[in-house]
Every structure is written in structure tokens, then in C-alpha cells.
């Protein structure tokens, strides 16, 4: 699959072949499944405690920030859905939304696959046996390429 991004004239050019676009286009729908199961490890990974060791303070933190975070994620997914299949150019804001959606998908997929914080390289040895880990790695490569393009001098 071809994945390429390049900064040009204050925007990010998108070079994705149809297969890459099709695969990326599944992410918002897939992310909408997070939280349907109360034991979903992706929920904890995408919404870690805001206050450690104080459940009451964490509950208050979630009450104050939860709806804003949900709204921001929904807006990012809408932007992603509106641009992933056909956009050849992304604004800076659209590219940032892409990074957040891809990042959320990587975190959720890794959590469901049992990858834990601190398992920096161990999971990569299992990519050949576990396709979901290959997807985590591929999404990481897409993110890296997009970040590199965004960091290029305009």
C-alpha cells in the first residue's frame, strides 16, 4: 500500500492508494465500537484516570471533561471521514484530526490485543503471528509519515 504525505503551500498533500484509503476509512466506524463492552480494554486506554489513587476526584475530573473530550473526538472522526476517501490535500487542522483518529485507533487496537504500556518492543516480535499487531505497526508508520510531513518547512 502506498502512503505518502508532503507539505506544500501551507497544506499537506495526501498520497494514498485506494487500498490504504479503504483501510483507513474503516477507523471511525471501528472506533465507534469502543465501550460497547463494559470490559473493553480500549476504554481504559483511551480514557485513563485523570486523577490517580482518588476515585472521587477522578469521577469529578470525568464529569468536568468527559463531554468535551467526547465532542472533540466526534469532530475529529467527522473530519477524518469527510476527507479520508477523496482528499488530496489536508489543511493543518485536518491533518491534526487525522493524527488523533489514527492515534486513538492504534491505542484501542493495541489495548484489545493485550499490548501494555511499557511493552515498547515486545509486541513487535509478534507481528507476523498476529494480524492486529501488524495493523498497529502500519498505523504507526502512517502516523510517522504524516508527522514528518507536518514538520517540513512550509
What is the rounded distance in angstroms from the CA atom of residue 34 to the CA atom of residue 48? 14
What is the rounded distance in angstroms from the CA atom of residue 122 to the CA atom of residue 39? 24
Quick one: pLDDT band at residue 59, thresholds 50, 70, 90? confident
- Tell me the backbone φ, ψ of residue 120, rounded to 5 degrees: -60, -40
pLDDT tens by residue, 4-58: 999 998 899 999 999 999 999 999 999 999 988 878 999 888 887 788 888 888 7
What does the domain layout of the chain look like in residue ranges?
A: 3-151
Positive/negative CA dihedral, 126, 36, 26, 148: negative
User: Closest Cα to residue 151, out of 12, 3, 16, 4?
Assistant: 12
pLDDT tens by residue, 72-88: 999 999 999 999 999 99
DSSP state, 47? S
Amino acid at each position: 500500500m502506498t502512503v505518502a504525505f508532503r507539505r506544500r503551500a501551507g497544506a499537506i498533500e495526501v498520497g494514498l492508494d485506494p487500498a490504504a484509503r479503504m483501510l483507513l476509512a474503516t477507523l471511525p466506524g471501528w472506533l465507534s465500537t469502543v465501550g460497547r463492552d463494559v470490559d473493553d480494554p480500549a476504554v481504559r486506554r483511551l480514557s485513563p484516570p485523570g486523577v490517580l489513587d482518588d476515585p472521587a476526584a477522578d469521577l469529578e475530573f470525568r464529569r468536568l471533561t468527559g463531554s468535551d473530550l467526547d465532542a472533540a473526538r466526534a469532530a475529529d472522526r467527522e473530519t477524518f471521514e469527510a476527507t479520508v476517501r477523496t482528499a488530496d490535500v489536508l489543511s493543518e487542522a485536518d491533518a491534526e484530526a487525522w493524527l488523533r483518529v489514527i492515534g486513538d485507533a492504534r491505542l484501542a487496537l493495541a489495548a484489545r490485543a493485550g499490548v501494555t504500556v511499557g511493552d515498547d518492543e515486545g509486541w513487535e516480535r509478534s507481528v507476523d503471528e498476529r494480524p492486529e499487531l501488524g495493523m498497529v505497526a502500519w498505523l504507526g508508520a502512517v502516523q510517522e509519515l504524516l508527522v514528518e510531513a507536518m514538520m517540513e518547512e512550509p
